[in-house]
Amino acid sequence: MKNILNVISRNQSIIYKIFLFVASTFLIIYFFPKGGQFKYNFQKGKPWQYENLYAPFSFTIKKDAETLNEEKQTVQNNIVPYFDYDTTVKEGVVEDFNRLLTETYVDSLYSTSQAKLKRAGIKIIDDLYRHGVTDQIFPYEDTKLVYLKNGNEISEITYNQIVKTDNVKKLVSLPSAKISEENRNELLLKAVIDIAIKPNIELNKKLTDAAVIAEIDAINPNRGIIEQGGRIVAKGEVVEGDKYQILESLKAEYESQVWTKSNYLWLLVGYALLIMLVLLMLFLFLKKYRKDIYENNTKVTFIVFNILLMVLITTIVVKLDAKYVYVVPLCILPLILKAFFDPRVGLFVHVLTVLLLGFIVPNSFEYMFLQIIAGIVTILTVSELYKRANLFISVGQITLIYVIGYFAFVLIHEGNINELEPETFGYFVLSGLATLFVHPLIYFFEKLFGLVSDVSLLELSDTNSKLLKELANKAPGTFHHSLNVANLAEAAAQEIGANSMLVRVGALYHDIGKMANPTYFTENQINGVNTHNELDPIESASIIVGHVINGIEIARKNKLPDRIIDFIRTHHGNSVVYYFYKTALDRDGNVDKEDFQYPGPLPFSKETAILMMADSVEAASKSLKEPTSTKIDNFVEKIIDGQMEQGQFLNSNITLKEIQLIKKVLKKKLNNIYHLRVEYPE
């Protein structure tokens, strides 16, 4: 049991990666829509590229979406609407009519008696409310049949039999009430009835909608049957019209039949193998070309998490409505990975993610082409993500690429622009706008996974930050030295294509450990008194070496990212504090070299190697007396060659050519610092 635990302990990193690999495979399979894959690819308006296709089984021909929409629209236009009839309204109208007529009637003005007018008015009201009155306007024809619901009774009438309140005055007719044709009497009656009348009919939306739904549900989605063995399409025949719809029907039926209980396990195995191949390519790429990422389980988890997130979001959108698939801002993925790692990792992971999504999106070739091209543009155009203008420009370029690509595919598929769907351009714009949320996402991922991006590096490079201000106050000489090293290292990093922002920030913080004992370092000794003169060489060396440990502790206390702490750890590698080692050796003759040696580790990246060179060269340049261009060139060569002989750069993926370029930059910068010119021969 103990041996098993030891094996697990020694191999916990690889065990975790295996677990992550398997878990990711199962999660992606779970996210995927459950259905088989049709084994033929075809496009509308293109020739059939395979042999003659015969129906492998009998299946129904599905109606196309346009036909179904037309039938649904016809149902909605022909449905008989339901109206509710309120019998209590009429009683109130009669009371109001009697009251208003009594208030307005004057014997001397009208020839017809009030009682006769009342009888005539009530008869007119009875006629108006025979089928009801409404104040709503509907787009129905006069002959349209409607249902009138009065309690539990339902009667059929035509729409023109319902009285509209706007037409009441026109419908009030004295002759129909057998009253004198005197205009004054008619006007009075019309005015009073118009005021008293109230609507008692309104549309019963619930019943009408239920009737519409029932009729739509009753629509037959099929329009015919293809018997087994019947020829569907011949080789070279253009796929259009009925042929296209029959193939779409076969595809839908095939995919639904393949995903059955008997085939369920085999389909899962097929999906699992393909997904595992994609994930295996990711792990192999990281192991071969990005070993530092591969060995960091947090970083590997972060990459896999982003892949799963994009697969999940795209799957949800496809299930809701596949036409919105381009709204998903897939280009956020390479942006985020480039911000935390480098462009090659971002592009490689983006391509693998697009390959996975090709299983679930419609028109997979078109989708994969557009997304891969957009990902490449993202990687090529976005530099220095921390500059907001760069992000806006890149988003505009990404959106433009989507639009151009979609336009080209429409021309290829349709041969004209008549089938162009303008709303698709809106989806591309929405995707571009969603890409702008990359900054909040980067901040969220930094907190969740403890990583650091270029955006955070920009914030850390601010010399007005609390920690750098403290360094400037406690150890002003060290602060000035750090600024000079930062400038040298940044220029060298730009020359060889390393991360210049990262190395600059690392240089600014690499000596913060000197704040613990600032006067023991020559750059902070203002009065020229060297405090080491009173100490034993071993004790002095311990103080000098200790600034690395102190720096790590201060950095952790101030919550600096691990990528910055790496510069503090490695900027001296495992080199020896040679001055005190030589002093002790001359005095005692036999000393332990480890007492004067930095704890390491060695620089393990181009950036940490650059900092070691720049730090050593800048510090040593202060000891030059009457510096000349030749002296500077020679001492830069001597220092860096000495570091190479000590094997300080063995763990760094830096080449001899890059080291030569770094030497050249450092020489040029130091010459500028000391305002030197090239010496001309006499």
Residue showing tokens 């691990």: 562
Residue showing tokens 């677990």: 19
pLDDT the model gives residue 177: 42
Q: 229: buried, middle or exposed (CB in 10 Å: 19+, 13-18, 0-12)?
A: exposed
C-alpha 641/C-alpha 653 separation (Å) is: 17
Percent of the chain with pLDDT over 70: 88
State which of 25-39, 228-242, 455-469, 606-620 shows the largest mean pLDDT.
606-620
Least confident of 230-234, 279-283, 303-307: 230-234
Say if residues 293 and 341 touch (Cβ distance below 8 Å): yes
Residue showing tokens 């036909």: 67
Q: What's the CA dihedral at 507, 512, 515, 520 to 10 degrees?
A: -60
pLDDT the model gives residue 292: 78
pLDDT band at 432 (very low <50, low <70, confident <90, very high): confident
Say if residues 508 and 488 touch (Cβ distance below 8 Å): no
Is the model's pLDDT at 174 over the cut of 50? no
pLDDT the model gives residue 256: 65
Is the model's pLDDT at 180 over the cut of 60? no
C-alpha 571/C-alpha 601 separation (Å) is: 9
Is the model's pLDDT at 179 over the cut of 50? no
Report cis status (omega within 30 of 0) of the bond before 561: no
C-alpha 126/C-alpha 115 separation (Å) is: 17
In the sheet that holds 145-150, the strands lie side by side as: 153-158, 145-150, 82-85, 201-203
Average pLDDT score over residue span 253-277: 75
pTM of the model: 0.61
Is the model's pLDDT at 647 over the cut of 50? yes
Average pLDDT score over residue span 345-357: 94
C-alpha 446/C-alpha 558 separation (Å) is: 16
Tokens standing for residue 288:
């071969």
**What is the average pLDDT value for the chain, to the nearest integer?**
83
pLDDT the model gives residue 383: 63
- What would the pLDDT profile of 308-317 be if each residue is shown by its tens digit? 999 999 999 9
Render 420-476 in DSSP notation, one character per residue.
Answer: --HHHHHHHHHHHHHHTTHHHHHHHHHHHH----HHHHHHHT-TTSHHHHHHHHH-H
Residue showing tokens 């293809």: 226
Sorted by sequence, the CB contacts under 8 Å of residue 608 that are 6+ apart come out as 506, 566, 567, 570, 571, 652
C-alpha 644/C-alpha 642 separation (Å) is: 5
